Amino acid sequence: PRLANQIAAGEVVERPANIVKELVENALDAQSSRIEIDAEQGGVKLLRIRDDGHGINKDDLALALSRHATSKITTLDDLEAVGSLGFRGEALASISSVSRLALTSRTPEAQQAWQVTAEGRDMEAQLAPAAHPAGTTVEVRDLFFNTPARRKFLRTEKTEFSHLEESFKRLALSRYDIGFSLRHNGRVIHQLRPAQRTVDREKRVASLLNPQFMDSAVHIETEAAGLRLQGWVGLPTFSRSQADMQYFFVNGRVVRDKLVAHAIKQAYRDVLYHGRHPAFVLYLWLDAKLVDVNVHPTKHEVRFRDGRLVHDFLFRALHRALAEVRP
């Protein structure tokens, strides 16, 4: 089974940034309220993700590293309306097959924390008592230490860290109710407190992306036909210099979608005669049955049941909001 894990790992684990996404999603699925990330050398030497979520029982710990061990889906109906972020039961198995992994956890009721460790595919997982507050810590060391061919594809520390940080930004922008921190080589890069009020959310966006974005951003909040859109769009004065500050979330997950991009660009061009690089952070909420997010584990794709409806809704919402502030 470990060999299968290594093959499967190629799908999910290409670089430290993917690991951060998977492990933070696990922490979110565990109802955590604080998530701390430590990285060393771009995340290749070490990634440590610590949460204060519901933890893992001793009995489930060893199992958590085996393939298709998911606690999140039990029926086909669940798969239809996936509420949790992870549901394939592959991430931990894949990651542990290409690194030195330690998973430490304690449930709130347990007297004692437990730790399971694994090194690549050759070793059986080892279970031992440990010290840990309620919650979970996953430590991933020496990524691809046993797969030189894959290690070769890693870039410089700086590049790997910038991918990792991009993952972090998307996650932190997807859950304002969660406190996040990110450290690299011991240095605090981001420290984010939970943000409920709009002003606090705007502070989070500014500190994660660019303080100037908020100076020129138009706030959008609108609802129609069961669709809800909230977020911020930058005006051309700012957007011109930002080719890639485009964040779009569908039911809390970041997506890249042509139809979405088109609707936004079109509205932007219509109102402001400028369609090049609108900067935006936008959140679309709709009935989970109207959208398929189960397309690919790593590509940020969606399939809307009614693309036309979504396109027109976005276009109108953006058009209205931009027209109000047209210079």
**Segment near Mg ion (CB under 5 A); pick from 59-67, 90-98, 119-127, 182-190:** 90-98
Q: Which two tokens stand for residue 258?
A: 């042509």
Contact criterion met (CB below 8 Å) for 65 and 140: no
Nearest Cα to Cα of residue 34 among 161, 254, 191, 189: 191
Bridge-based pairing state of the strands 253-254 and 246-250: antiparallel
The residue within the footprint of ligand ADP, chosen from 36, 90, 139, 257 (CB under 6 A), is 90
129-168 footprint of ligand ADP as x/- string (CB under 6 A):
-------x--------------------------------
DSSP secondary structure code for residue 276 in this structure: S
Smallest gap from residue 107 Cβ to Mg ion (A): 18
**Residue 69 contact among Mg ion, ligand ADP, none, beta carbon within 5 to 8 Å by kind:** ligand ADP
State yes or no: residue 8 binds Mg ion (CB under 5 A): no
Q: List the one residue from 18, 26, 167, 251 that touches Mg ion (CB under 5 A).
A: 26
Q: Closer to Mg ion by CB, 91 or 171: give it.
A: 91
Question: Which of 5, 3, 42 lies closest to 20 in space, CA to CA?
Answer: 42
One-letter-per-residue 3-state SS of 36-100: EEEEEHHHCCEEEEEECCCCCCHHHHHHHCCCCCCCCCCCHHHHHCCCCCCCCCCHHHHHHHCCE
How far apart are alpha carbons 320 and 270 in whole angstroms?
A: 11
Subset of 16-45 contacting ligand ADP (CB under 6 A): 22, 26-27, 30
CB-wise, 88 or 163, nearer to ligand ADP?
88
Quote the CA–CA distance of 326 and 39 in Å, as a whole number: 43
| Among the listed residues 16, 42, 86, 120, the single contact to ligand ADP using CB under 6 A | 86
**Which helix (DSSP H) or strand (DSSP E) does residue 230 occupy?**
strand 227-234
Please give the Cα distance from 242 to 265 (Å, whole number). 14
Q: What is the per-residue DSSP string for 144-213? A: TTT-HHHHTT---HHHHHHHHHHHHHHHHHH-TTSEEEEEETTEEEEEE----SHHHHHHHHHHHT-HHH
Under rule CB under 5 A, residue 86 binds Mg ion = yes
Q: Is residue 64 a contact residue for ligand ADP (CB under 6 A)? A: yes
Look up residue 129 and give its two tokens: 């008592």
Q: Any idea which residue has 């502030």 for tokens?
A: 325
Residue numbers 167-226 binding ligand ADP by CB under 6 A: none
27's contact among ligand ADP, Mg ion, none, with CB below 5 to 8 A by partner kind, is ligand ADP
84 vs 210, beta carbon nearer ligand ADP: 84
Closest residue (Cβ) to Mg ion?
86
Question: How many whole angstroms separate alpha carbon 214 and alpha carbon 233?
Answer: 9
Q: Which is nearer to Mg ion, 99 or 230 (CB)?
A: 99
Q: Is 236 in the site for Mg ion (CB under 5 A)?
A: no
From 36, 40, 51, 165, residue interacting with ligand ADP (rule: CB under 6 A): 51
How many residues at the interface with ligand ADP, by CB under 6 A? 23
Minimum distance of ligand ADP from residue 30's CB (angstroms): 3
Binding segment for ligand ADP (CB under 6 A), chosen from 49-57, 126-134, 194-202, 203-211, is 49-57
Phi, psi dihedral angles at 126 (to 5 degrees): -110, 135
- Comparing CB distances to ligand ADP, the nearer of 92 and 172 is 92
Binding window for Mg ion (CB under 5 A); candidates: 20-28, 129-137, 221-229, 310-318 = 20-28
- In the complex, the residues that contact ligand ADP under the rule CB under 6 A are 22, 26-27, 30, 51, 53-56, 64, 69-72, 86-93, 136
